Amino acid sequence: MIKIGIVGGTGYTGVELLRLLAMHPQAKLQVITSRADAGTKVQQMFPSLRKHVDLAFSHPDTAHLEDCEVVFFATPNGIAMQQARELLQAGVKVIDLAADFRLQDVASWEKWYGMSHACPELLAEAVYGLPEVNREKIKAARLVANPGCYPTAVQLGFIPLLKAGLIDSDNLIADVKSGVSGAGRKAEIHTLLAEASDNFKAYGVAGHRHLPEVVQGLSLVQGTQVGLTFVPHLTPMIRGIHATLYGRLQRETDLQTLYEQHYAGEHFVDVLPAGSHPETRSVRGANCCRIAVHRPQGGNTVVVLSVIDNLVKGAAGQAVQYMNIMFGLPETAGLNIVPLLP
């Protein structure tokens, strides 16, 4: 059994980690921290976990995370980088669901996240955890950075086209929608029911924190710098990411076959039949990305539709995937979950 610690177990990604790990055949939840709710039973805060998680939240100062084999950080940006060095020195593997180790360039990270990085020397070691790209690196990693939910959907959609050199990489467009749970479990006006319900809006058009992360990932796949217009939107739903991606084709190919062959053998990426339109509800609660590729009117524009559950494949589920890979377990362990419907 793998001894597991979770830092920040009171948010949406934290409770999703608890849900998944409670069903995992090789997971032993050892400690779950919360500074504000230390002493509170997990099942008291989250009744859905009754009879599944019989732990109380521990204060971070007395949690003894060094006794764990792996620690997940389901915390706001800037927390994991304060503790990662000490945990790694103690021989603990670290998986960060926030953004502390996603960008390789320190100056870029500090620009987009508005703070000094506490351990910039670890950025070179951190493995960007997109298993469909970096599976072999994850196997040997001590420190894994979980991609953001938007970047997961966008990169999985674009990567086959870029690897095949089929599209103009200077003019990529990602038009992406998210449910309100992507903003986290906190009280903010824009996520109130009366504000978010029956409403739809774009935000961060001038620049979103996930933009440099997506550009970094796609540029590494391409081998040269890509140009990307990234526009996120907030939708009146709780879970889900829907990415509509546009590229200009530079040569002829069978797009459907390209995607099917590229993701053949990937358990958590489902390429739908030609002409399909994936829905966010088709992945709700599951660690799955569903993709469809289109070529409207047979023109030179390719449209890729990519959907994930932002809390699972976009966060906690993908993080459990890394743990499985890092500890030599079947990648599907604890993650063979049928999506919820309705």
Distance CA 333, CA 164 (A): 31
Catalytic residue among 119, 149, 288, 289: 149
Q: Indicate if 88 and 183 belong to the same structural domain.
A: no
The token pair at 50 is 């009754």
37 found inside a domain: yes
**Tens digit of pLDDT for each residue in 167-183?**
999 999 999 999 999 98
pLDDT average, residue stretch 12-39: 96
119 is catalytic: no
pLDDT in tens, 286-301: 999 999 999 999 999 9
Task: Please indicate, yes or no, whether residues 104 and 181 belong to a single structural domain of this protein.
Answer: no
pLDDT band at 338 (very low <50, low <70, confident <90, very high): very high
Shared-domain flag, residues 195 and 274: yes
Alpha-carbon span 105 to 120, nearest angstrom: 9
Identify whether 199 is part of a domain: yes
Q: Is the pLDDT of residue 188 over 90?
A: no
Q: Are residues 186 and 69 in the same domain?
A: no
Is the Cα torsion angle 89, 92, 93, 94 positive or negative in sign? Answer: negative
pTM > 0.85: yes or no: yes
pLDDT (average), residues 213-228: 96
Distance (Å, whole) CA 198 – CA 180: 12
pLDDT, mean over the chain: 96
Q: Which residues contact 123 (CB under 8 A, 6 or more apart)?
A: 101, 103, 104, 105, 106, 109, 117
Mean pLDDT of 45-60: 95
Which residue range is the domain that position 88 belongs to?
2-125
The whole-number pLDDT of residue 186 equals 84
101: domain CATH number? 3.40.50.720
Structure tokens at 340: 């919820």
pLDDT digits (tens, 9 = 90+) for 97-154: 999 999 999 999 999 999 999 999 999 999 999 999 999 999 999 999 999 999 999 9
| Residues 264 and 297 reside in one and the same domain | yes
Residues 102 and 186 in one domain: no
In a domain, 235, yes or no: yes
Residue 226 clears pLDDT 90, i.e. is over it:
yes
Q: Is the pLDDT of residue 324 over 90?
A: yes
